[in-house]
């Protein structure tokens, strides 16, 4: 279970930390002190449900067929290599999270505080209306998680990665914001993400041989 947990933690973290609308939204809500913990919880729970659905649905289907298992393994390897290439490409042309509004004493100003309901709806929208989230979490993490010796451990690891990242963004928003708006920081993150993807792809390929 330990290795499956680590795989889930590393792969989950590698997918989550990529620059995207979801991360920008979570960080922005943390800086505005506008229901940031609610937003982090919604994002983490959505990831848990999507990864669980993928592993529980695709895992048994894949392991029931030797041919399907081999196709899934090499498909997972190809996907991980592709994701590593994307990360290294981002590292060559680093970008950063762009936040609207002005900062004062580590808090974003210039925006009216909204009620919890529209913020929750926006968090669900930025999380679930992105088609890539289903490819990444339900399909690919489902395929990789279903091949682990402990699929439950993989889900736990991936879910912990989401929990730590999103709540970390909110809790550490003041000190993270200046760094996450610096391209150099994201360059280092993307290099680490690419390296992790290559490592997991190598381990998955070795299991298929």
What is the full DSSP assignment across 151-165? Answer: HHHHHHHHHHHHHHH
- Give the pLDDT score at 113: 54
Give residue 29's Cα distance to chain centre: 18
- Give the pLDDT score at 110: 45
- Give the pLDDT score at 101: 54
Calculate the alpha carbon distances from 88 to 54, 162, 188, 192 in Å: 27, 22, 10, 9
| 79: its two tokens | 């996907």
| 29: its two tokens | 């809500």
Provide the number of structural domains found in the chain: 1
- Give the pLDDT score at 160: 94
Q: Assess contact for 94 and 187: CB atoms under 8 A.
A: yes
- Give the pLDDT score at 104: 47
- Give the pLDDT score at 99: 60
* Residues paired with 192 in a beta bridge: none
The continuous run of DSSP H or E covering 50 comes out as helix 36-63
- Give the pLDDT score at 40: 94
Q: Assess contact for 80 and 176: CB atoms under 8 A.
A: no
For residue 84, give the nearest of 10, 150, 145, 138 by alpha carbon.
Answer: 10
pTM above 0.75, yes or no: no
| 3: its two tokens | 């290795």
- What domain range includes position 87? 2-208
pLDDT along the chain (209 residues), means of 10: 87 78 81 87 93 82 72 80 86 72 49 74 86 78 84 92 92 77 80 83 73
């Amino acid at each position: 279970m330990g290795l499956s947990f680590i795989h889930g933690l590393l792969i989950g973290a590698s997918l989550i930390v990529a620059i995207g609308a979801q991360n920008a939204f979570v960080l922005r809500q943390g800086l505005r002190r506008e229901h940031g913990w609610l937003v982090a919880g919604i994002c983490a729970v959505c990831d848990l449900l999507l990864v669980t659905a993928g592993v529980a649905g695709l895992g048994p289907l894949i392991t029931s067929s030797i041919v399907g298992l081999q196709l899934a393994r090499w498909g997972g390897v190809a996907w991980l290599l592709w994701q590593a290439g994307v990360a290294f490409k981002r590292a060559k042309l680093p970008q950063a999270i762009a936040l609207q509004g002005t900062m004062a004493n580590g808090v974003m100003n210039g925006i009216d505080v909204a009620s919890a309901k529209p913020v929750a709806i926006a968090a669900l929208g930025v999380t679930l209306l992105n088609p890539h989230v289903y490819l990444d979490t339900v399909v690919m993490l489902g395929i990789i998680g279903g091949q682990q010796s402990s699929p439950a451990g993989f889900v736990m690891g991936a879910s912990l990665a989401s929990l730590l990242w999103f709540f970390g963004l909110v809790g550490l928003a003041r000190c993270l914001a200046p760094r996450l708006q610096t391209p150099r920081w994201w360059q280092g993150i993307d290099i680490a993400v690419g390296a992790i993807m290559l490592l997991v792809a190598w381990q998955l390929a070795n299991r298929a041989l």
